[in-house]
Amino acid sequence: MTQTLPAFIAAHRRLLVITGAGISTGSGIPDYRDRDGAWKRPPPMTFQAFTGSEAGRRRYWARSLVGWPRFGMARPNAAHHLLATLQQRGRVQALVTQNVDGLHQAAGSTGVIDLHGRLDAIVCLGCGTRSARTDFQQALVAANPSWVDRPAGLAPDGDADLDEVDFSSFHVPACVRCGGLLKPDVVFFGESVPRQRVAAVQAHLDASDAVLVVGSSLMVWSGFRFLKAAAAAQRPIAILNRGVTRADDLAQLKCEDDIATALARALG
C-alpha cells in the first residue's frame, strides 16, 4: 500500500464512494464503533424489537423525541462539502451512504443512494403512507409534553441516551390514516435493505473504475457486500477511515488521517 490518497483519486474517473458514520462525527453526530470496530455503546434498535414490543417502541420514540431537535439541526461539515466538490468535478460514479442524516444532500451532492434510508421520513407499516419526521415530532410532543427538553446526550441514530428512565407512560401516536405502526423510514438492524436499492448500487459498481470508502468500518453486511463484489470484479479499493475495517485486507490503500484533512489534500 504505497499509493497515496491524492494519487488514487487522481488515477480514477468513476469512483463509487461509500460513506459511513465517521464522516458525520464532524457534524456532531456520534458513531457506534471504536477504532477496533467494537461497539462503543449498546447496539441499536432491531426491527424485531421495534415491531414485536410495545415497550421497545415506547423506548425508541421517547429517545427519538428528545434527540431529534439536535439531530435535525446538524449541518454538513467540510468532508461532506469536499465529496460534493469531487462529484461536481465529474469524478463520482455514485455516492452511497450508510448514514441516515441527509447531510450529503444538504452539502450539494446529487443522486445520493441512502442505503439505510432517511431519518427525516416516517413510514406506516400498515398502509405504507410516508410523512415528514418534523410533523411526527409535533405529534410526539403533543402526546408527551413532559418529555420535551429533557437533558440527554445525542446518540448516533438521532435518538438520545436516556438511562434509568421509566418509559411506560410514554404514548406513541398511531398512523392517522389506518391506525398502523409508525416507523422511521430507515433500515433497522435485522431488516433487509430493499432489493432495488442494492441493485442500484451494484449497477453503479459495475460502471465504476474504483471504490472509495470514507468513514466506515464496514462491519455490517449491507455495505461490506459491495466491497466483496468490488474485489471480485478487480476494482481498486481505497479506505479512508480511522481504525480497522472489515475490508482492510481487500484494499489497495488504507488511510487513517482525519477525513476532512485527507480529502482536502486529495482534492488540492
Catalytic residues: 116
For the chain, the straight-line distance linking the first and the last C-alpha, in angstroms and rounded, comes to 21
SS3 64: helix
Question: Known binder of ligand: residue 126?
Answer: no
Closest CA to 109 of 217, 231, 23, 203: 23
Dist CA 159 CA 152 (whole Å): 9
DSSP 124-173: ETTT--EEEHHHHHHHHHHH-GGGTT---EE-TTS-EE--S---TT---P
The strand order across the sheet containing 253-255 reads 113-114, 92-97, 15-19, 210-214, 237-240, 253-255
Rounded to whole angstroms, the Cα distance separating 167 from 266 reads: 48
Known binding residue 255? Answer is: no
The answer to whether 243 is annotated as binding is: yes
Asked if residue 127 belongs to a known ligand binding site, the reply is yes
Q: Is 77 annotated as a binding residue?
A: no
Three-state secondary structure call for residue 188:
coil
Alpha helices in the chain, H assignment, sequence order: 5-11, 47-52, 54-72, 78-88, 103-106, 133-143, 195-207, 221-232, 259-267
Residue 190 marked ligand-binding: no
Does 91 belong to an annotated binding site?
A: no
Q: Is 124 annotated as a binding residue?
A: yes
| Binding-site residue ranges for Zn(2+) | 124, 127, 175, 178
| Binding-site residue ranges | 98-101, 124, 127, 175, 178, 215-217, 241-243, 259
| Binding-site residue ranges for NAD(+) | 98-101, 215-217, 241-243, 259
